[in-house]
Every structure is written in C-alpha cells, then in structure tokens.
Amino acid sequence: MLGDIITPDLFASAFRMATPLALAAIGGTICERSGVVNIALEGIMLTGAFFGTAAVLATGNPWIGVLAAMAAGVAIASVHAFASINLRSDQVVSGTAINLLALGVTGFLMEFWYGHPGTTDPIAVLRPIFSFTSPGGGFFAEIWRWFNGIVLSHTPIVYITIIIAVLAQWALYRTRWGLRLRALGEHPRAVDTVGVNVYRGRWIAVLMSGALAGLAGANLTIEQVGSFTENMTNGRGFIALAANIFGRWTPAGSYLASLLFGFADALQIKLQVFRDVITVPPQFFLMLPYVLTVIVLAGVIGRAIAPAAVGQPYKKG
C-alpha cells in the first residue's frame, strides 16, 4: 500500500498545492519586510481568483484571466496600502476588513453577474507546458516516470512561482530595492534620513504583494480547479502567512515552507483515497495542513524574528 501512496504524483501534487501558498507567502514576505502586516492575503487571493475566472469567462483566454487576477489583487491591495500607510490605521484591522470585503464582493458579484451562488461555469484552463509519454518498463523508464511526474508535469504558474522565488531571493539581498526593503521594515526613520521615500517604498511592496496574491488566486482557478467557488481560498492566505514566518521572512524560505504545507495537503488528499483501508475519519486528514500551521506558528521549529518595525505606521517628522 505504501507504494500506492508514495508515487511521483504525490510529489507533483505537493508542488501544485504549494504554488498558491508560495505566491501569497512571498507576497507576504515582501510586504512585511517593508513594515506592513498583510493579513489580507486571503482576501486578495480570493479577489484574484474571482476576477481571473470572470475574465476568462468573458474572453475565453486564460492568460487574460491571469493578468486580470493580478490587476484585481493590486487594486484591492491599494486599499490596504492607503489605509495602513497614508491613513496610518491599524494594519490588522485593515487586513481583516479587506478579507471580509473580498468575501462579500465576490459573493455579491457572483449572484449579480451569473445569477446564482456557489460555483461558476467551468472555464478554459492553462494546461501543463510539457506532455511526454512514459516509455515501457525497466529501471530507466522508472526514473523517467518519476522525473516526468515531479518535474515536467506542471502548469505554467507552477514554474513561474519557482522562478519568482529564486529571483526575489536574489533581489532581496543583491539589489538596491532589496536593501531598502530590508531596511524599511527594520528602521523606517533610518531609511528616511538617508533620503529614501518611506511611503513610496511601502506602497510598492504592498502592491507587489497584491499582484502575487492575485496570481495565487489565478493559479487556483485557472490552473487547478477550472472554476470559481465562493470562499474557495479556504484559509490558504493564512497558511501562507505562516509559511512566510516559517521561512523567516525570506522568499526562498517561504517557498520551501509552502512546499512542506503543500506536501501535507497532497498527502492528505492521497490518504482520503485509502479511507477504507485506514480506518480514521477523513476529517483527520483534512486537518493535517492546519495542524502543521499551528505547530509552526507555536514556534516549535525555532524562534523566528519579525522585522522590527512591522505593523507600525510611519509618521514623518
């Protein structure tokens, strides 16, 4: 039976499940490094998922859907940016408000545009980039089967996410933008006194997190599910926040932590199939990723230190 569970598909599925988490987590990393808490990732992701689907339903082109999802993410993130940077309101309150707003707006537009609650019609999806067939038996064929399954079976955003993680990690430590971003979340006044605009730096970071969380939503609908369902993000935005913390506020760490959560999710799905053999209630498996989140957040796996100025509005002068 173990051989039925540990298959190339399990690991491929882990990468797929990790993708939306990783995108949102990297968004969270960038946002929090600038000093702005973003618990709105959940709502932004949901907004992206909805508008991405709507755009595909309207145009039939999944790539236009991806762009629409990112644009919607940026738009709703700008509300968070304005509230927490310019108005200096409490960032947790603003984030919570956006999560509720996203739930309400997507539900309302669902009824308004499509005349029913629940789930939209199926949409055109993005397909895996490569498609190779597996040759017959033998040892090398087996290796090929694993490689093909884990590495070559994915849809575009899964690869894009890995590229984003690597790029963001490099940029954070090697570029002007990255250095200023790291300084912003630690000591914004120090950044101000060397003549760098704190508000602008934070705005850019929040909008980037909006684009990334929006892209995460696009991955859910346009690559994984193929339709939009109300509240379909189902807490992924919060798990992404945990992944960001577990990844110690670095893009690469966020990706790897998301991969762990993704694996837990993939395993959970796989185990559902064997519910007749393993006599455990299915809810137990459903719990797995969340239990993992709680364990991570409880700090079992080492203390993580947040950017010193995260959550504090900056006031000039």
- At closest approach, how far in Å is the CB of 2 from another protein? 44
Contact between 115 and another protein (CB under 8 A)?
no
Biggest alpha carbon–alpha carbon distance for the chain: 72
| CB 183, min distance to another protein, A | 5
Smallest gap from residue 33 Cβ to another protein (A): 11
- Tokens representing 183 are 């300084």
Question: Is residue 90 near another protein by the rule CB under 8 A?
Answer: no
Residues 158-177 binding another protein (CB under 8 A) are 174-177
Establish if 192 lies at the interface with another protein (CB under 8 A): yes
Structure tokens at 101: 């707003």
- Shortest distance, position 196 Cβ to another protein, whole Å: 5
CB of 35 to another protein, least distance (A): 12
Residue of 1, 2, 194, 298 interacting with another protein (CB under 8 A): 194
Among 144, 187, 252, 311, binds another protein (CB under 8 A): 187
Question: With respect to another protein, which residue has the nearer C-beta, 30 or 41?
Answer: 30
Q: How far apart are CA 128 and CA 131, in angstroms?
A: 7
Q: Output the CA angle 159-164-166, nearest 5 degrees.
A: 100
Q: Is residue 25 within 8 Å of residue 257, measured between CB atoms?
A: yes
Structure tokens at 272: 């559902």
In the bound state with another protein, the residue whose beta carbon lies nearer, of 127 and 189, is 189
Near another protein by CB under 8 A: residue from 108, 135, 143, 189 = 189
- Cα–Cα distance for residue pair 182/172, rounded to 1 Å: 7
Nearest to 37 by CA among 22, 51, 27, 50: 27
Nearer to another protein, 202 or 236 (CB): 202
Nearest distance from C-beta of residue 313 to another protein, angstroms: 14
| Binding region for another protein (CB under 8 A) out of 39-47, 119-127, 183-191, 227-235 | 183-191
Nearer to another protein, 225 or 304 (CB): 304
The stretch among 48-56, 180-188, 207-215, 264-272 that binds another protein (CB under 8 A) is 180-188
Residue 288 binds another protein (CB under 8 A): no
Contact 313, 85 (CB under 8 A): yes
Around Cβ 47, how many Cβ atoms within 10 Å?
A: 29
Residues 6+ positions from 112 with CB-CB distance below 8 Å: none
CB 239 within 8 A of CB 261: yes
- Residues pairing with 119 in the sheet: 229
DSSP SS3 for 87 = coil
Chain residues that interact with another protein, rule: CB under 8 A: 174-177, 179-180, 182-183, 186-187, 189-196, 308, 316-317
